[in-house]
Amino acid sequence: MEERLQKYLAQAGVLSRRKAEEAILAGKVAVNGVIMTTLGTKVSSADEVTYCGKKVQPTSQYQYYMLHKPEGYVTTVHDQFGRPCVLDLVPQEVRLYPVGRLDYETSGLLLLTNDGDLTYELTHPAHQVEKTYIALVRGTPTESELQRFRQGILLDDRLTAPAKIRILNKEGNNARLEIKIHEGRNRQVRRMCQAISHPVLQLSRCAIGTLRLGDLPKGSCRLLQPEEIAELKRVASVK
């Protein structure tokens, strides 16, 4: 059975589909010794596919982990500055990749998997998978400031998609907010809060779609249950 080269790479757990497309266009992928730079190329199990000169071994052994990321970890496979990486906290029986990112100072729910298709669908903005954050911010937003959040805020000369926001409680002169977004721009929640003059003091992601972090201790991980995987795929529209 033939399939597109980028999907083949994603299913092998080498790269997410989006990163696989970038690698193909950059000339890093070869099929039977020939560099391929077009995304329409189709391959089968009979073909020899290499990425950066290393042979790609297809796998059907998908694994799905939920991690409670602590602050002080980077959401990358390796870090050039030697900082701790989230993969240091996960058993690596197979090669895993983070689904999206949480910045260095942010804690909370992070998914890791070798299922490239699911990674692609969960992070693709067209599917609008909702992520829920709890943010402690300086001061207390007014109703008009909350409305700015809900209507979209200008970041990088482009409005953010409307977000959901509500005040959970006040803590002295500060406020704890629940924020729901379905985009994945760089440090988006922090930048949106800064834009309404209520900078983030503490930030954690507690849910992706219907999947919730629950009482998983910080720094710990667990395998997802079959029903959780099925629900993620339903939300992401993965067949």
Residue 112: CATH number of its domain = 3.30.70.580
Say what percent of the chain tops pLDDT 90: 56
Instruction: Tell me how many domains the chain contains.
Output: 3
Ranges of residues in the chain with a pLDDT under 70 are: 1, 13, 58-60, 92-94, 238-239
**Based on the domain organization, do 225 and 194 belong to the same domain?**
no
C-alpha triplet 222, 235, 74: angle, nearest 5°: 45
Residue 18: CATH number of its domain = 3.10.290.10
Each residue of 63-111: pLDDT tens digit? 899 999 999 999 987 778 889 999 889 876 667 889 988 999 999 999 9
Which range of residues forms the domain containing residue 7? 3-55
**Based on the domain organization, do 169 and 190 belong to the same domain?**
yes
What pLDDT score does 75 carry? 92
C-alpha triplet 107, 205, 103: angle, nearest 5°: 50
**Based on the domain organization, do 82 and 193 belong to the same domain?**
no
**Based on the domain organization, do 102 and 147 belong to the same domain?**
no
Q: What is the pTM of this model?
A: 0.76
Query: Looking at 47, 103, 156, 157, which residue is catalytic?
Result: 103
215 is catalytic: no
- Within a 10 A sphere around the Cβ of 148, how many other Cβ atoms? 17
CA 176/CA 174 separation, integer angstroms:
7
Q: Which residues contact 192 (CB under 8 A, 6 or more apart)?
A: 149, 153, 155, 160, 163, 179
